[in-house]
Amino acid sequence: MTTVLKLGGSVITDKDRAETVDGESLERAAAAIADAVSDSTETDGGLVVVHGGGSFGHPAADAHGVTTTAGTDDAGAVTEIHAAMTALNGFVRRALLERGVEALPVYPLSLAARNQGGDLALPTESVETMLEEGFVPVVQGDMVTHAGRGATVVSGDELVAELARGLDADRVGLCSTVPGVLDDERVVDRIDSLADVESVLGGSESTDVTGGMRGKVETLLGLETPASIFGLEGLEGFLAGEDVGTTVG
Ligand code: IP8
């Protein structure tokens, strides 16, 4: 059973303060992951953790006018955005390592690329071998080179989708700041198509260059494996194999 879990940038960082970790939430997430890795048979095929940018990657990307489609040829800008994400990756891994989780970093900038059409190619051999060797890969949202556009942002959600396909994942989860996709404060149990929920999917309020909840649902609908969107309070349940939050697909 291989699980791909994304920790949303807005969950583990303070989205309103530049490059600031939300220590309490990160600790809580790390504790849930450490419990699952040590006790649960649910993650015995390995757990891949992906994380988003929050107040690390997004302001830096925004400052340079870079998105998943608008690129830059400025290596300094690419490196600055990448470095912000690498800093956050370090915080995530440290929280996991402190709890005995053998976390290793994965930097998509050095691994992945987009073609002219924007499709992402992400070789998975290194992640697969990490899993086989008992490590927990921690993959960051990042910059990637993009044919004809220099380099663009790759969101954690896109990486989740590529990893889920490439690793043939059994379970996919996005841990968000909300308990699922909300319709008037009620969590929508299941989404089968974008049309079902078009009216309730708004944009993200803070700086988010990669599409907010709508983008997440769209990305997850393209997967073969149903995926769950849930809040931090649902993380333990998700890792224990329960249905939590909103199931997409
Ligand atoms: O928060 C964004 O990842 P996301 C990564 O998953 C960067 O959209 C570099 C802004």
Q: What does the block give as tokens for 191?
A: 């989404």
Q: Can you give the pLDDT at residue 207?
A: 47
Q: Which of 67, 120, 210 best tests ligand 1's pocket when mutated (most atoms within 8 Å of CB)?
A: 210
How many angstroms is it from 18 CA to the middle of ligand 1? 14
Task: Point out the ligand 1 atom lying closest to the alpha carbon of residue 158.
Answer: 6
Residues with CB under 6 A from ligand 1: 9, 52-53, 57-58, 61, 81, 85, 141-142, 153, 155-157, 209-210
Evaluate if residue 98 carries a pLDDT over 90.
yes
Contact 207, 62 (CB under 8 A): yes
Task: Point out the ligand 1 atom lying closest to the alpha carbon of residue 61.
Answer: 10
How many angstroms is it from 41 CA to the middle of ligand 1? 30
In what helix (H) or strand (E) does residue 248 lie, and over which residues does it extend? strand 246-248
Long-range Cβ contacts of 93-100 (<8 Å, 24+ apart): 93/138, 95/26, 95/27, 95/29, 95/30, 96/30, 96/33, 96/34, 96/49, 96/136, 96/138, 98/30, 99/30, 99/31, 99/33, 99/34, 100/34, 100/38
Q: Which of 209, 217, 218, 220 best tests ligand 1's pocket when mutated (most atoms within 8 Å of CB)?
A: 209
Evaluate if residue 192 carries a pLDDT over 90.
yes
Cβ-in-10-Å burial (0-12, 13-18, 19+) of 149 comes to middle
Task: Point out the ligand 1 atom lying closest to the alpha carbon of residue 9.
Answer: 1
How many angstroms is it from 12 CA to the middle of ligand 1? 13
Least confident of 28-37, 118-127, 139-148, 196-205: 196-205
Mean pLDDT value across residues 207-224: 78
How many angstroms is it from 81 CA to the middle of ligand 1? 10
Contact 5, 173 (CB under 8 A): yes
How many angstroms is it from 40 CA to the middle of ligand 1? 29
Compute the distance between CA of residue 147 and CA of residue 50 in angstroms, rounded to an integer.
24
Contacts of 94 (CB under 8 A, 6+ apart): none
Least confident of 63-72, 143-152, 177-186: 177-186
Dihedral sign for Cα 164, 169, 175, 178, please: positive
Evaluate if residue 211 carries a pLDDT over 70.
no
Compute the distance between CA of residue 249 and CA of residue 240 in angstroms, rounded to an integer.
20
How many angstroms is it from 11 CA to the middle of ligand 1? 13
Secondary structure (3-state) at 126: helix
How many angstroms is it from 13 CA to the middle of ligand 1? 12
Task: Point out the ligand 1 atom lying closest to the alpha carbon of residue 211.
Answer: 8
Contacts of 39 (CB under 8 A, 6+ apart): none
Compute the distance between CA of residue 225 and CA of residue 248 in angstroms, rounded to an integer.
9
Evaluate if residue 167 carries a pLDDT over 90.
yes
Q: Tokens 């700086």 map to which residue?
A: 207
Task: Point out the ligand 1 atom lying closest to the alpha carbon of residue 51.
Answer: 6
Residue 171, strand partner residues: 3
Q: Can you give the pLDDT at residue 210?
A: 56
Dihedral sign for Cα 186, 234, 139, 53, please: positive
Q: What is the mean pLDDT of the chain?
A: 93
